[in-house]
Structure 1
Amino acid sequence: MTSKLWVKSYKFSSVVGMTLGLLMPGLSLLAVTSFSALAWDLPPQPTPPSECSGAGLADYFITETYSISIFTCENVDNYFFVATKISNQSEIKSTKVTIEADGTYLAITSDDEGNEIAYKVGGDQLTLFKNGKQLWYEEASKP
């Protein structure tokens, strides 16, 4: 009779204790996994280019492909554009940056064949032009 009473009074706490004991190893693995996945998905932080003295971050955009930073510099008349490709950290830089009437930034560069490449970023998208013709676009956001 005493043993039945002991089991009844501790039944709830033993079930809770046993459940937590079984879940604890799995919970720690989930916590480590979710943290490492979160750290992996973080975009690169904007760092001023070495060509830009006295740099200040004017604007910053993230797309699926690029991390785009617009800097103000003491030694550059306009702005300094840096688009870092997220997959391999390669950079596209331009000092030929203007602000359009709609508030978007337009950065002009050229490729190895002498084609004019323009990156227009602002609002909610990045658009890429080659010799004035739109090649593609993707959504952009501010983190």
Structure 2
Amino acid sequence: MSQYNRRTIVRGAAWTIPVVAVASTAPAFAASTDTPVVPGPGAFTVCKQPGGPNGPNCQGYKFSLNLTVQPSDTWTIQFTQLTVDGTNFLPQTSPQTFQVTATANLINFVFCTASSPSQFNLTLRYSATNQRTGVTTTGLGGTYVLSGVRNCA
């Protein structure tokens, strides 16, 4: 004779179905962390800082970047490349690291150049670290043609 009767087996099977359903949805939720992205050239605003040159051979420019950030996570953005018209401005860019969220996703940074262009070819590369998961994604960004440079208010 069997140690288990039919009622015991059915009762045990009924409890396994909800456990399997919960376990299968948890990994999908944990993996849905899209990195912050630059949605295109329209994400940037560029203006020339007032007061003429901001030092010897230096015209200051302020860039504002509005990243698209998914809700619920905080990200650390680290610039890894900032090239304007072929010149590397990363060493003089201040700051280079930012915290962003879905509600605080505007990044402002400044640099100066000896020229005073009305259009920029900007190559911006960055890494993004998800503060909840600790996962870092590198090689983000791209090259953007930015025009319509105005004086900062």
Give the TM-score band, short-chain normalised.
0.3 to 0.5
User: Which protein has greater RCO, CA pairs closer than 8 Å, 6+ apart?
Assistant: 2
TM-score (norm 1): 0.34
Larger Rg: 1
TM-score (norm 2): 0.33
Whose helix proportion is higher, 1 or 2? 1
